[in-house]
Amino acid sequence: MKLYDLELSGNCYKVRLFAALANIELEIVPVDFMAGEHKSSVMLALNPFGQLPVLEHGEVVLRDSQAMLVYLARLYDLESWLPSDPQQMAEVQQWLSTAANEIQHGPNVARLVDKFGFEFDKPTALDISAGILTLLNDHLAEHDWLALGHPTIADCAVMPYVAIAPEGGISLDDYPHILAWIDRIKQLPGFIGMPGQV
Ligand SMILES: N[C@@H](CCC(=O)N[C@@H](CS)C(=O)NCC(=O)O)C(=O)O
Distance of CA 65 from the midpoint of ligand 1 (Å): 9
Supply the mean pLDDT for the chain: 98
> CB-based burial of residue 28 (10 Å sphere; 0-12 exposed, 13-18 middle, 19+ buried)?
middle
Closest C-alpha to ligand 1, atom 16: 51
CB of 24 closer than 6 A to ligand 1? no
pLDDT at 64: 98
Beta bridge pairs of residue 63: 54
CB of 100 closer than 6 A to ligand 1? yes
CB of 67 closer than 6 A to ligand 1? no
Q: Which of 162, 151, 155, 152 is nearest to 197 (CA)?
A: 162
List b or e across 161-188, with b for residues whose CB sees 16 or more CB atoms inside 10 angstroms: bbbbbbbbbbebeebebbbebbeebeee
Residue 101: partners with Cβ closer than 8 Å, 6 or more residues away: none
Per-residue pLDDT tens over the stretch 96-149: 999 999 999 999 999 999 999 999 999 999 999 999 999 999 999 999 999 999
**For the domain bounded by 2-75, which CATH number is listed?**
3.40.30.10
Looking at the domain covering 86-186, what would its CATH class be? mainly alpha
Separation of alpha carbons 59 and 124, rounded Å: 40
The amino acid at 169: G
Distance of CA 142 from the midpoint of ligand 1 (Å): 32
Closest C-alpha to ligand 1, atom 3: 64
CB of 65 closer than 6 A to ligand 1? yes
Per-residue pLDDT tens over the stretch 28-71: 999 999 999 999 999 999 999 999 999 999 999 999 999 999 99
Question: How does residue 173 score in pLDDT terms, banded at 50, 70 and 90?
Answer: very high
List b or e across 53-89, with b for residues whose CB sees 16 or more CB atoms inside 10 angstroms: bbbbeeeeebbbbbebbbbbbeeeebeebbbeeeeeb
CB of 52 closer than 6 A to ligand 1? yes
Spans of all domains in the chain: 2-75, 86-186
Distance of CA 32 from the midpoint of ligand 1 (Å): 14
